[in-house]
Structure 1
C-alpha cells in the first residue's frame, strides 16, 4: 500500500523562524503547505532574542510586516574584548530584542494567514520514496523542509549526525529585571573558556535577556558553571533573580551537512546555520527557510534548486564568517578588532554586518585590525 492519506506539495517540520519562513515562501509560490511542530504556539525558545534588521528585511520580502511592533529599537552595541578594551557605537540600522515567545508566534501566525496548515504533531518517521516523501506513514509530500533544530530528525534521515564539540556551543539564557540598563546591546567576552561571552540585551519593558555561552571543547559544562560565568561577567545585573533560565545548543556553521538531497531539505539550525563569530542565527534561519520553501514548492529537483540558491546568497559570506571565527580564536586579534572598531565607525559597521547579517571580511577591515595590533 502506497500510504499517504493526506497530500501536500510541501511539508515543513518545525514551525520556528526557519520553518515559518519556508511555509510563507512555499505559499507565495502557490504550493499547499502543512506546517508541523511538536509544540503549540506561542511557545518559548531559549535564545538571545536579538533580532537584526536583516531578518526583518527577509520577512518583508515574504510579505510579513509588524514583527517588531511594540518593541523599541536598540540603537547601539557595546562590545568588551577579552583584554578589557571596549567599543560602544550606534548601529547603522537599529536592532531589536524581541522574545522568541512573541517573534516566533507572530511569524507562524503570518504563515497560517498566508494559507499554511499548522498542526501540532511530533514527526517520527520520514521516507523519501523518490517521487514523493511519506511522513509518519500517513502524509504524502512533494518535498519536506527540515527546520526542526539542532537535533533534527530530517537531518538524521539524511544520514548526518549532530555537530560535534568544536563546532557546537552551549549557552544559558534567562530574563532579568534591569530597568536601569542603557538602551544598548552589550556583549562581554572573556578569556576564560575562550571563545566565550555573556550578553545583556534590553527588551524595553524593564527586563533584559541575559545569557552566557561558550564553544564546547570536549568537556561538559555544568549549569552551575554557566551561571557563575554569567554572574561574573554581568556584575551590574541581578543574574541571581533571573527567570526562565534555560540552556540550549548552538550548531555552528563551521560544520554543516549537505543542505539537501532528493526531496529533503534542511534550513536554520538543522543545517547548522549559526554564525560562529557571534552565535547569531535568526537571520540565517529566516533566509534559509525562505530559500528552502521556494525550492520545495517546485515539484522537480528541489534539492539542486535549493543548493544553488544557498550558494548564490550565502556561500561567500559563510566562508568569510568561518575565517573570522578562525581569526577570533586568538584573543589578541579580537582585542585588536575592538580597538579598530572603536577608532573607526566603518570597521564597526563591517563587523556588525559580518556578525549579524551577510557581510564580508573586507581588505579595509583586515588592514584596520592589523594596524590596531600593538607593536612590541
Structure 2
C-alpha cells in the first residue's frame, strides 16, 4: 500500500490550494478527484482579487489570464433601489472549467500526483489514515465539496435548512451596457437574488477556451435562494431568474445546472486529528453573497500547511490558523447575514452605499473578502432605515 504525507480529496480550488501549500512545505502529495479535468462545476464563476492574492502566494501568479477585469458592481435592493460603483479592486469571471483546470495544472507542476478516484471509505488510525484500503496518508485534507465524503466520515451531517442555499447557473450571450457585475435581490422568497457576471474573454482567439458563449465569453447568469423546508423545483428557479433579469432571453441560456451552497453560518468542526476540511466541505460559503472561491483557496492553503507541517495535530493547527485569519470576519459576515434577513435592512444598505462610497467599500469587502462591519457602516444603514421610514 502506498504511503504519502498528505492526501487531498477533491481537486477544486480548495484542494488544489491545499496541494500547493503542502508541496511548498516539502510534503509528498496525492490529489484525488472523481472527475477528469477540465470539468464543469456549477458556480457563479466570480473570482475576487483576494483569491488571486492567496494564489500568488502559492506560486500561481495569473490564473485569470486572458479574461478581462470586471471593474464595477451594480446592486439592486429588494425594494428596487440600486447602487453602482467601482469595486475596491476589480473582479474576474472565469468559468470553473477553465479556472479549476489551471489550478490543478499548477499543483501537478509543483509536484503533486493527480489521480482519478472516487473516495468511499476512510479508516482513521493512530498513525495513518487509510483511503479505500489502497492508499495511506499521514494527514488528509477533505476538499470534496458540499456533499463531502470526508465530512460524513468525521460524523458531520449536511447543513440544515436556512443554512443551505440552492442555485441554478447558466451562460448567456452578453447584452449591451457597462461591464459590471449585476446582483438583483428579490423581495419575494428573500433571502434570494439573481446575478449576471460578464465573462469577458480578451485573450487571443487561438487561445480561447472551449465552451465560452460568444466571442467575448458571454456572461454567467443564475438565481439562488436559501432553503426553508420546502423543495425547490427547476421550474421555480428558472421563473425567478426570468423575473429578476427581464432583459435576459431564457431561450439563449445554456449549460443550466443547479448546486447547493452550504453557508458558513453552520460550520462543522474544522477537523479531527489527522483529518481536516476546507472550502465547501467546511461550509465556507459567504452567507451574505454566496461567494466561496476566496474562502476555498485560503482555507485550502491553511489546511495544506497544517497537514504537511504537523500531520498528527493537523486539526489543532488548522483550527488555530483559521481562527486567526478568518475568525472575526466570519462572525461579522454571520451578523450581516442575520441583519440582512430583513429586506428593509438590505434596502437601507443599498441607500447608504449609494450616498457613501466608504459604506459601499465595506459592504463589498464583507461579501467578497475578509472585511468587517464598522460603526460608520452600521450608522449609515441605521440612518437609511430612518430615512425610509420617514418617507
Do both share a fold (TM > 0.5)?
A: yes
| Partner SS for 1:372 | helix
**In structure 2, distance between residues paired with 1:130 and 1:365:** 49
Q: Does the Cα contact within 8 Å between 1:9 and 1:33 map onto a contact in 2? A: yes
| Partner SS for 2:80 | coil
Q: How does 1:44-123 map to 2 (within 5 A)?
A: 44-123=40-119
Q: Does the Cα contact within 8 Å between 1:231 and 1:240 map onto a contact in 2? A: no
1:271 equivalenced with 2:282 (yes/no): yes
Q: Does the Cα contact within 8 Å between 2:56 and 2:62 map onto a contact in 1? A: no
Among 8, 14, 20, the residue aligned to 2:10: 14
* Distance change (3 Å), C-alpha of 1:208 and 1:133: same
Q: Specify the alignment match of 2:344 in structure 1.
A: 332
With normalisation by structure 2, the TM-score equals 0.94
* Distance change (3 Å), C-alpha of 1:251 and 1:272: same
1:291 equivalenced with 2:302 (yes/no): yes
Q: Does the Cα contact within 8 Å between 1:179 and 1:206 map onto a contact in 2? A: no
Q: Specify the alignment match of 1:342 in structure 2.
A: 354
Q: Specify the alignment match of 2:207 in structure 1.
A: none
Q: CA deviation at 1:145?
A: 0.3
* Long gaps (5+) in structure 1: none
Q: Specify the alignment match of 1:249 in structure 2.
A: 260
Q: How does 1:102-251 map to 2 (within 5 A)?
A: 102-204=98-200, 205-251=216-262
| Partner SS for 1:142 | strand
1:355 equivalenced with 2:390 (yes/no): no
Q: Does the Cα contact within 8 Å between 1:347 and 1:365 map onto a contact in 2? A: yes
Deviation track 1:49-71 (CA, whole Å, cap 9, x = no partner) reads: 01000000000011111211000
Q: Does the Cα contact within 8 Å between 1:283 and 1:357 map onto a contact in 2? A: yes
**In structure 2, distance between residues paired with 1:56 and 1:306:** 21
**In structure 1, distance between residues paired with 2:365 and 2:33:** 31
Aligned length: 372
**In structure 2, distance between residues paired with 1:300 and 1:164:** 31
Q: How does 1:27-38 map to 2 (within 5 A)?
A: 27-38=23-34
Q: CA deviation at 1:300?
A: 3.6
Among 355, 368, 371, the residue aligned to 2:380: 368
Runs (4+) off by over 6 Å: none
* Distance change (3 Å), C-alpha of 1:200 and 1:52: same
**In structure 1, distance between residues paired with 2:20 and 2:177:** 36
Q: CA deviation at 1:180?
A: 1.7
Deviation track 1:197-246 (CA, whole Å, cap 9, x = no partner) reads: 00000111151100000000000110000000001111112233200000
| Partner SS for 1:301 | helix
Q: CA deviation at 1:181?
A: 4.1
User: RMSD over aligned Cα, in angstroms?
Assistant: 0.8
Q: Does the Cα contact within 8 Å between 1:178 and 1:238 map onto a contact in 2? A: no
| Partner SS for 1:297 | helix
Q: CA deviation at 1:372?
A: 1.3
**In structure 1, distance between residues paired with 2:217 and 2:244:** 20
